[in-house]
């Protein structure tokens, strides 16, 4: 089997390396300026000033007020706070939530828990074969007791970008808070909350070259939100706990860098992505692209392969020096097919053969060349060992290696 002498990282949807400029911005608050921002003396004031400067930076990028920014520990916490916070604050008005069947587990599991243990009713509007939500379906699902709509901005498994602004317009016309999980979109798509017409937005720093362990929840002023984590009065009494100043500073720096180079980097990655997609589909028989062909994240390529197990593909890629994923990193090791692919109508036998390749700043055109030399050989080898794959004429015509 072909191997690359270089390590090729193609799992940026799972996590990213901390940018050296981000680490440099963080270090003073891990070493010299380590005060608690809630204390009143001058030494602590350095941390407080940095915290509020970071809040202003994030607010400027999102087009909102600094007071509408809540710093959290991760995207999962942001999703939990948004959904539970609004649901619990609005429970006297109603207990109906609208979502989709392709949400990240942080949203899906939270909604299911609210239904199972707290008496909420969850409506999942369908998606089409590309994973796209029809805004009209959202409108039809609204009831008098609907208290929240939550729809992912860009899907983590297949990269499809949802019509968030259209859904937001519908929610606003009906006076219903609208939340979007923008964790995958944070480094590459427009985050202006007014253009998107969202009331709550979740972000996670480690998806755009900040460290793991820090996130953001945007909460539009006037949106009902009951704190999930209680204690002190931090984050405008919406999220108790001493703020992780160094990581928050790092997140703000990383988001600013991503915002500055967003358009240029998206253009570069789209070229590489499309080259990768075209190469896979042309060189591997019975390979299928998942997600929308054009309305997808600029760095995201995802496939299913007939007659091959996704975990086996990952193991072989790892041996060849390529890091990839079979879907959500939060669900790795799950023997069941992806709930996202199932919701899109992809058959179980195909869904079990999924592969996600997500690009980042360090990836080059040579990486694409190398992967396209490695992956077809891996698929051919695995199919030759499978009793469940009936090769097509194109597969049978492949020269022996």
Pick from 200, 194, 129, 185: which is nearest to 154 by CA? Answer: 185
Collapsing DSSP to helix, strand or coil, 69 comes out as strand
Distance CA 334, CA 204 (A): 23
> Which of these is catalytic: 64, 74, 111, 330?
330
Look up 330 and say whether it is catalytic.
yes
Collapsing DSSP to helix, strand or coil, 149 comes out as strand
Distance CA 220, CA 45 (A): 27
Burial of 298 (0-12, 13-18, 19+ CB in 10 A): buried
Distance CA 181, CA 154 (A): 8
Phi, psi of 228 (to 5 degrees): -90, -35
Cα–Cα distances in angstroms (integers) from residue 186 to residues 32, 183, 191, 196, 245, in the given order:
30, 6, 7, 13, 20
Catalytically annotated residues? 330
């Amino acid at each position: 089997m072909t191997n690359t002498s270089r390590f090729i990282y193609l799992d940026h949807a799972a996590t990213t390396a901390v940018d050296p400029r981000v680490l440099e911005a963080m270090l003073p608050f891990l070493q010299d300026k380590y005060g608690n921002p809630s204390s009143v003396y001058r030494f602590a004031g350095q941390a407080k000033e940095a915290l509020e400067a970071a809040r202003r930076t994030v607010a400027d990028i999102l087009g909102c007020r600094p007071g509408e920014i809540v710093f959290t520990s991760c995207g999962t916490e942001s999703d939990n706070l948004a959904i539970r916070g609004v649901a619990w604050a609005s429970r006297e008005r109603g207990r109906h939530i609208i979502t989709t069947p392709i949400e990240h587990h942080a949203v899906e599991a939270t909604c299911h828990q609210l239904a199972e243990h707290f008496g909420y009713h969850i409506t999942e509007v369908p998606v089409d074969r590309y994973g796209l939500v029809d805004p009209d379906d959202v409108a039809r699902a609204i009831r008098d007791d609907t208290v929240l709509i939550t729809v992912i901005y860009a899907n983590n498994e297949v990269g499809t970008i949802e019509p968030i602004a259209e859904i937001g317009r519908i929610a606003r016309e009906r006076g219903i808070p609208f939340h979007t999980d923008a964790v995958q979109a944070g480094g590459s798509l427009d985050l202006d909350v007014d253009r998107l017409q969202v009331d709550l937005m979740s972000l996670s720093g480690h998806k755009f070259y900040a460290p793991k362990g820090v996130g953001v929840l945007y909460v539009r002023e006037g949106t009902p939100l009951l704190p999930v984590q209680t204690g002190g009065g931090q984050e405008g009494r919406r999220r108790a706990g001493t703020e992780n100043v160094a990581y928050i500073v790092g997140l703000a720096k990383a988001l600013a860098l991503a915002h500055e180079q967003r358009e240029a980097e998206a253009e570069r990655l789209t070229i590489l992505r499309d080259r990768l997609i075209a190469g896979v589909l042309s060189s591997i028989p019975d390979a299928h692209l998942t997600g929308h062909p054009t309305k997808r994240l600029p760095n995201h390529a995802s496939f299913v392969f007939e007659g091959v197990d996704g975990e086996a593909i990952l193991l072989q890629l790892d041996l060849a020096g390529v890091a990839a994923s079979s879907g959500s990193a939060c669900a790795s090791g799950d023997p069941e097919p992806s709930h996202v692919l199932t919701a899109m109508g992809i058959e179980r036998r195909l869904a079990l053969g999924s592969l996600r390749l997500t690009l980042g700043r360090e990836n080059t055109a040579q990486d694409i060349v190398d992967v396209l030399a490695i992956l077809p050989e891996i698929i051919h080898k695995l199919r030759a060992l499978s009793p469940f794959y009936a090769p097509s004429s194109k597969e049978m015509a492949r020269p022996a290696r």
